[in-house]
Structure 1
Amino acid sequence: MRISDRHLAVTVWGLGVTQIVGYGTLYYSFSILAPEMARDFSWSLEWVYGALSAALLAGGLAAPLTGRGIDRYGAGRVMTAGSVAAAISLAACALAPERTSFFMALLALQVASGLVQYNAAFALLVQVAPNRAQRSITHLTLIAGFASTLFWPLTTLLHEHMTWRAVYFAFAAANLLICLPIHWRLSLLSRRSLTAAAKPVATEAAVEEADVPVPPEMPLRVEGSLPVALRPKGFVLMAAGFTLMSFVLSALLVHMVPMLGAIGLGALAVLVGTVFGPAQVLARFVNMIFGAGMPPARLAIVAAFSLSLAIIVLLASAPWLGGAIVFALLFGAGSGLNSIVQGTLPLTLFGSDGYGVLVGRITGIRLVVAAAAPFVFAFISEQFGVHAALAATAMVGAGSVVAFMLVARLAGSSPARD
């Protein structure tokens, strides 16, 4: 089966909508609602973020299992089940009468997030059109980049008139009414693609050897660029780079609005935060137009460097508004490019076979480490100040730059394929 360009475009736009709702309701809203959660449960804000870190850890531990499920049952089915699980988990958080039940619901929420967010969406695009997946992933991240731009101010607006519990109920409804129908429809497409992929297919090498044209209905597998002997080392370096970069992103995105307020921006923090989303989209658009030929490993270096540079700019300029806007632009650009390379770099280095399992393993590793980021950032901020927390985060980001430089060097040293 070969998916038409029109159906692929519908798939990308449908996933774009669900990613906006998914990230907005399950992730970006938390920092806006966390202070009231802390008051409601008589917790310190530090411990509310500690609960989130533990929940992110649970999501990371579940990621390899999710990846195997994606390869076995299809990403569409997994995302359909994930929409239901996300809605139930949000409602459970809203209904929680005390800390323990809230914590258990938050654990379930982050496990459900892994079923509906980028990794599952990327896998669906790889399953339905492997040879066009890199471009499709770029288009998807271009659309989904507006999640923070929409949901930080939307959550703030809703919270002015509703309790955090009522906001979570509304977000549960959004996952059921918006995401579930789209994921169910895409699951049918994913299922047909998996059925077609189970039939014998021609690889690029076999086609070249036979020297015959490939019919449109005969899909080609995408083969990885790394030789088998270099793949273990490549995997370790790539996982390290994504893990360190995810730590930086997790630490700052969860704390973005309150952190900007703490360094002196006050009420302007939400305004500066809204620059982050358009910066993601702009970086992805520029990459799509001008960076199509850039290897994903080099793009990963640019992404990691942008994150670290953004934090340095903020440290040097705070509380100047202009510096904060430059920070949001750079940090948004780094985050936007990171979302692309999370999908394209594994595909380029290792190929499309077993993509779900591979991405699940990487996600599990990076989330296990990055899960601690919100708590660590909050702890350092409370004990030593927000500037110290930012400096420590910038150093972690520098480590990701080094890791991706080594990945690029490894990929560049690989013998060319005939």
Structure 2
Amino acid sequence: MPRLASRFSIFYGWWIVTVGMLSLLLAGGIGIYTFGAFFTPLIDEFGWSRAQLSLAMTIASLVGLFGPMVGTWVDRYGARRVMAIGALIAGAAIALLGLTTSIWYFYVISLVMALGLVAILNIPVATAVSNWFVERRGLAMGITLTGFGLGGLAMIPLASYLIANLGWRMAYHLLGLLICIVLIPLSIFVIKHRPEEKGLLPDGKTPQESKPSPSVVEDEHDRELTLKGALRTKAFWLIAGALSLAFIGAGSVIAHVIPFFQDMGIPHQTAATILGLTIGVSILSRVAAGYIADRMSVKYLALFFLLLQIAGLLLLLGTSSMAMVWFFVVVFGLAIGGMFALEPLLISAYFGLASFGAIYGGLWVFVSIGFAAGPPLAGYIFDVTGSYDLAFILFMAATLVAMALLLFLKPVKLSWRPG
């Protein structure tokens, strides 16, 4: 009977996946994806230009410069403490955005919000999930990262509904409160940084199942690079360059696609729903990319999804009918979902787990630069030309360069060698 009971028990790692998914759903959905839903109401009330408002997203994105520090904290203190503090800071800051009276206030609070978000998004979540899974890491990571897609699917329409019925100020207050009341207790009481904290092994294996070969966890942690070691490799800089260039386009579309569709004559709530569905479609590729990454090269999967991103931008450039809009939803949704899922898997595949948080944080510096550069550039191009066409062309070119960089990516020589 004990054997039968254990066979049907749920491995605690899946609870880590569940909480990680909820963290990404709320933090990503509210802190990142709803930015476009507030775009038009803020411009209507304050008369800011699109470039001015987009600068807030740039300022928030630059907080990724603190990624290495947050990653080091996660490696040292564990994901639980970092996520609980991050949820408090992010939730409070989002609520305070509802008190905005000037563009400078909006910039400062956006920066504080981003400081909290970096502590409850990819770095701590992906680090914890990577520690709990080895053989099924790709699948577990893919499922976890569906939180981003579910966040876009749920939070964008929710924010749009709250704005329409309660006003944008109350919408910010309620969304900030939601992050605090859900994520703080879950981070404190559920998150465990490593399976050893509960006397378990990765993937739910028993000690007997691990005996035929050396512990996978020990192998992985012995053979991996520190952040300093990773910085000396060509692979780190190729991945960093590729991700920063890829996310220039992804971040810009997320920030500007709602006003872009409104310029086509599509109502605000419908445009918000389109973005929500785009993020929703990304759920499919997040899971699929994680599952496939357990079976084939992460590098070639990334190239495929970057090609899809170019196709999605091309569809925006030539959008002339609702049929093309829905085609964009599918293509671009699959593209961004796949790239978000593969981002942490590229790190574990090329650098291992020993300093996963710190290395992921280091790469987030460059991802944040991409997110930071794209939205204001797109806003400036629109303000000057009255169109996003030139921006979309530039972002397609940047994605092509990202693909070229990944083509040169080769396995890293790690310090560990099998005996």
The answer as to whether partners of 2:128 and 2:194 remain within 8 angstroms in 1 is no
Q: Could you say what secondary structure the match of 2:320 adopts? A: coil
> What's the RMSD between the two structures over aligned residues?
3.0
Q: Where do 1:393-412 residues align within 5 Å?
A: 393-407=395-409, 410-411=410-411
CA gap of 1:142–1:366, structure 2 versus 1, over 3 A, is closer
**What is the aligned counterpart of 2:169 among 165, 169, 174?**
165
The count of aligned residue pairs is 394
Distance 1:230 1:62 in 2: 16
Q: Could you say what secondary structure the match of 2:363 adopts? A: helix
The answer as to whether partners of 1:224 and 1:347 remain within 8 angstroms in 2 is no
Q: Give identity over the alignment, percent.
A: 19
Distance 1:279 1:151 in 2: 14
Q: Deviations over 1:98-131 (max 9, x none)?
A: 3333321111011211111122210111234455
What is the Cα deviation at residue 148 of structure 1?
Answer: 1.0
The answer as to whether partners of 2:142 and 2:288 remain within 8 angstroms in 1 is no
**What is the aligned counterpart of 1:270 among 257, 269, 272?**
272
Distance 1:377 1:365 in 2: 19
The answer as to whether partners of 1:35 and 1:45 remain within 8 angstroms in 2 is no
What is the Cα deviation at residue 378 of structure 1?
Answer: 0.7
2:321 maps to 320
1:13 and 2:12 aligned: no
1:114 and 2:118 aligned: yes
1:22 maps to 27
1:205 maps to none
Distance 1:100 1:287 in 2: 40
CA gap of 1:75–1:212, structure 2 versus 1, over 3 A, is closer
CA gap of 1:240–1:196, structure 2 versus 1, over 3 A, is farther
Tell me which amino acid in the other structure corresponds to 1:253.
I
CA gap of 1:61–1:289, structure 2 versus 1, over 3 A, is closer
Q: Could you say what secondary structure the match of 2:193 adopts? A: helix
Distance 1:289 1:97 in 2: 47
Q: Where do 1:90-239 residues align within 5 Å?
A: 90-130=94-134, 132-187=136-191, 189-190=192-193, 193=196, 213=212, 220-221=219-220, 223=223, 232-239=233-240
What is the Cα deviation at residue 63 of structure 1?
Answer: 1.3
Distance 2:147 2:45 in 1: 35
Distance 1:83 1:167 in 2: 18
Structure 2, unaligned stretches of length 5 or more?
Answer: 1-8, 201-209
The answer as to whether partners of 1:231 and 1:350 remain within 8 angstroms in 2 is no
Q: Could you say what secondary structure the match of 1:156 adopts? A: helix
What is the Cα deviation at residue 191 of structure 1?
Answer: 6.7
1:66 maps to 70
Tell me which amino acid in the other structure corresponds to 1:119.
I
The answer as to whether partners of 2:311 and 2:331 remain within 8 angstroms in 1 is yes
1:45 and 2:50 aligned: yes
The answer as to whether partners of 2:21 and 2:145 remain within 8 angstroms in 1 is yes
Distance 2:408 2:94 in 1: 40
Distance 1:229 1:117 in 2: 22
What is the Cα deviation at residue 282 of structure 1?
Answer: 1.8
2:289 maps to 287
1:257 maps to 258
CA gap of 1:354–1:131, structure 2 versus 1, over 3 A, is farther
Distance 1:212 1:8 in 2: 21
CA gap of 1:63–1:158, structure 2 versus 1, over 3 A, is same
CA gap of 1:87–1:229, structure 2 versus 1, over 3 A, is closer
Distance 2:146 2:238 in 1: 26
1:200 maps to none
CA gap of 1:116–1:229, structure 2 versus 1, over 3 A, is closer
What is the Cα deviation at residue 11 of structure 1?
Answer: 1.4
1:208 maps to none
CA gap of 1:311–1:150, structure 2 versus 1, over 3 A, is same
CA gap of 1:399–1:219, structure 2 versus 1, over 3 A, is same
Q: Deviations over 1:310-358 (max 9, x none)?
A: 1112323x12111121112111111111111111011000111111110
